[in-house]
Amino acid sequence: MSFDAIDEKTAEARAHERTMSAGSTLEDDAAGVGARVMSGKDAIEAFEKLGPLDGTVENVHLGAVLTAFLNFAAAFRVFKRFLITTESVIVSCVSVASTLFFILYEIDGHRLGVNVSWTFVSFAIIYPLTGSLDAAFRRREEALKRLSEFKTNVLEFYQGHRDWDWDGNGRKRLPENHVQEVRWLCVALVCDVRNFLTAPEVTRLVHLNTSRGKVMWEKGRKIQWAIAARVRSHFQKMSLTTEILKYAGMPGNESARLRQFHKDAYLAWENMRYLKTYRTPMATRAFARVYILIHPIFWGPYYAWVVSELLHDEAGGYVGSDVYDVPAYTSGMVIFYACCLSVITSLAMLGLYNVRYSLEDPFATKERQAESEADYSHRYTRGQDQVLINKELRELVGELVVEFKNTHERSGGGMPRECYPLPAKSKLHTLELVIPEEVKSTREARA
């Protein structure tokens, strides 16, 4: 089958010359989809039409200079988030103090400067940091994978109870409000999973190695264990809901599929629980933190050597014609440069550590508030790479309360009247969903 050439509007779309930013035109044509047979040409043209975001999120019109400026501004904002901390102030003070000591303290008129090798720093600090950073990021990716599996399987489990039929309306034998009961179980499960994953972190070094931290650990673990017990009870009850379908006559192959959804959701929950509870090796984190703090003390002579090489003064071991005649302000500038170099080196290591630290718990949250009371940009503590667990699971709850119009089963679900009894002509294009106002308002607020 051959198709006609793409029209002018499609060509513009492909060239990213977007002018439309309203709702998707696919939605505009939805009412007519069922009224006619869609040909190959219709399908291609429908795909090529502009989408709801075309032309609204592109920065081409800003220009290269302004775009570059905005990129740098955003980068410095992230830089500030990770490096303007109490620890960075302490490390900077240690770096400056160590550098000034070895520059200004002299023995027999000679500065304490030597070209210290950085090999030890490379394998004792940088290599473990980059390796643990990679491991922490893989933990985040694993968390996203398991979260998607949990959401998918819980939703499919619920939709199986809501929609699946057998033996010509075998659902009529289900108990009254069966679907509402299953929905209640699924929503309760999602809420407790959210509560567990957003619980305060109590598995840091400070929680296991200080007396005050141990008190926090005991309180936090008791809360998490109680929530985890509730999650397990929800899964136990959800297991029986499938048996009710079997009592009503559901075939074994379909009930086995629901069992698979239940099992996969349980497995995804256990994986997320382990990611929340367990961490990367504590010894590696402890060594990195200590080495970052004390390394400027032992590498101070290197920065004194840099000053000597730049000034070529007598304190650096130069004599006669090798001594540079530099003004006092130049010496001050060189010393200032050495201090800045020491601070930047220390902050680079601390920045890597803070990035790794921020990814240690992929679900770490500062607080959990209602959607209308909090801004996501201020709700997550240590960076912008955490999983937005509250948002993701809220979306799942929103899907769990969606129903079809015109269902007639006393169980609360079943096929809409447009689909059962089986019509002579398909009416799929007339199906409508019932979306609660609370869910609809949340979606519109995020649109």
The yes-or-no verdict on residue 382 having pLDDT over 50 is no
The least confident of 325-329, 373-377, 409-413 is 373-377
Q: What is the mean pLDDT of residues 263-284?
A: 92
If asked whether residues 47 and 178 sit together in one domain, one would say: no
Looking at every residue in the chain, the average pLDDT score rounds to 83
Would residue 374 count as lying in a domain? no
CA nearest neighbour of 163 among 414, 427, 405, 431: 414
Would residue 118 count as lying in a domain? no
Q: What is the mean pLDDT of residues 293-310?
A: 93
Tell me how far apart the alpha carbons of residues 286 and 283 are, in angstroms, rounded to a whole number: 5
* Residues 376/384, Cβ–Cβ less than 8 Å: no
Encode pLDDT of 86-145 as tens digits: 999 999 999 999 999 999 998 888 898 999 999 888 888 888 888 888 888 899 999 999
If asked whether residues 172 and 275 sit together in one domain, one would say: yes
If asked whether residues 233 and 315 sit together in one domain, one would say: no
Would residue 98 count as lying in a domain? yes
Percent of the chain clearing pLDDT 70 (strictly above): 84
Q: Which of 83-87, 229-233, 291-295 has the highest mean pLDDT?
A: 229-233
If asked whether residues 420 and 330 sit together in one domain, one would say: no
What's the predicted TM-score (pTM) here?
A: 0.81
If asked whether residues 171 and 38 sit together in one domain, one would say: no
If asked whether residues 134 and 218 sit together in one domain, one would say: yes
Would residue 148 count as lying in a domain? yes
* Residues 122/321, Cβ–Cβ less than 8 Å: no
Q: What is the pLDDT of residue 369?
A: 43
Q: What is the mean pLDDT of residues 323-329?
A: 83
Q: What is the pLDDT of residue 39?
A: 82
If asked whether residues 226 and 90 sit together in one domain, one would say: no
3-state secondary structure 119-153: HHHHHHHHHHHHHHHHHHHHHHHHHHHHHHHHHHH
If asked whether residues 178 and 327 sit together in one domain, one would say: no
* Residues 169/404, Cβ–Cβ less than 8 Å: no
Q: What is the pLDDT of residue 227?
A: 96
Would residue 109 count as lying in a domain? no
Please give the C-alpha separations between residue 300 and each of 89, 104, 119, 313, in angstroms, as whole numbers. 18, 11, 15, 18
If asked whether residues 271 and 165 sit together in one domain, one would say: yes
The yes-or-no verdict on residue 434 having pLDDT over 50 is yes
If asked whether residues 95 and 132 sit together in one domain, one would say: no
Would residue 436 count as lying in a domain? yes
The yes-or-no verdict on residue 318 having pLDDT over 60 is yes
If asked whether residues 336 and 389 sit together in one domain, one would say: no
Q: What is the pLDDT of residue 447?
A: 53
Would residue 111 count as lying in a domain? no
* Residues 217/207, Cβ–Cβ less than 8 Å: yes
If asked whether residues 213 and 308 sit together in one domain, one would say: no
Q: Of 37, 58, 79, which residue constitutes the final position of a domain?
A: 58
Q: What amino acid is encoded at 348 in this protein?
A: A
For the chain, the domain total comes to 3
* Residues 223/199, Cβ–Cβ less than 8 Å: yes
Q: What is the mean pLDDT of residues 359-381?
A: 55
Q: What is the pLDDT of residue 346?
A: 94
* Residues 273/196, Cβ–Cβ less than 8 Å: yes
Range(s) of the domain holding residue 305: 62-104+284-358
Would residue 119 count as lying in a domain? no
Exposed/middle/buried for residue 414 (C-beta within 10 Å: 0-12, 13-18, 19+): buried
* Residues 203/278, Cβ–Cβ less than 8 Å: yes
